[in-house]
Amino acid sequence: KAGVTQTPRYLIKTRGQQVTLSCSPISGHRSVSWYQQTPGQGLQFLFEYFSETQRNKGNFPGRFSGRQFSNSRSEMNVSTLELGDSALYLCASSLEATGQAEAFFGQGTRLTVV
């Protein structure tokens, strides 16, 4: 079956702009999590959605937001982009939201802020 699909794969944006990233989970998976990966901070949890509800949020400013649709697809939005937002943004989907279910990652969206 198809894996986690993230679009677009690459993005270049200017400081101050906003961006929306998309994630389509594996069919049947209802939990979607987002992570930011940078060389300095590594992989950091952004937020997690299950059945259209945000269940957990990491330590990121309010400029980072997300949502999940009824078909489990998820989007994350970053407003007023800063240079430090340049990163690989990864989405992971899981069949369950119990915390003990395998999470499958997509290829990520590489965001560059100039």
Partner 1 sequence: GESVGLHLPTLSVQEGDNSIINCAYSNSASDYFIWYKQESGKGPQFIIDIRSNMDKRQGQRVTVLLNKTVKHLSLQIAATQPGDSAVYFCAENLGGAQKLVFGQGTRLTINP
The contact set with partner 1 (CB under 8 A) reads: 4, 31, 33, 35, 42-45, 48, 50, 55-56, 58, 90, 92, 94, 97-108
> Angle CA(107)–CA(21)–CA(104) in degrees, nearest 5?
35
Query: Shortest Cβ distance from residue 87 to partner 1 (Å)?
Result: 13
Q: Which is nearer to partner 1, 2 or 14 (CB)?
A: 2
Q: Which is nearer to partner 1, 16 or 99 (CB)?
A: 99
User: Could you give the residue ranges of the DSSP H alpha helices within the chain?
Assistant: none
Query: Shortest Cβ distance from residue 80 to partner 1 (Å)?
Result: 25
Query: Shortest Cβ distance from residue 94 to partner 1 (Å)?
Result: 5
Q: Which residues pair with 90 in a beta bridge?
A: 35
Q: Judge residue 11's burial from the number of C-beta atoms within 10 Å of its C-beta, 0-12 exposed, 13-18 middle, 19 or more buried.
A: middle
Q: Which is nearer to partner 1, 78 or 93 (CB)?
A: 93
> Angle CA(48)–CA(83)–CA(23) in degrees, nearest 5?
30
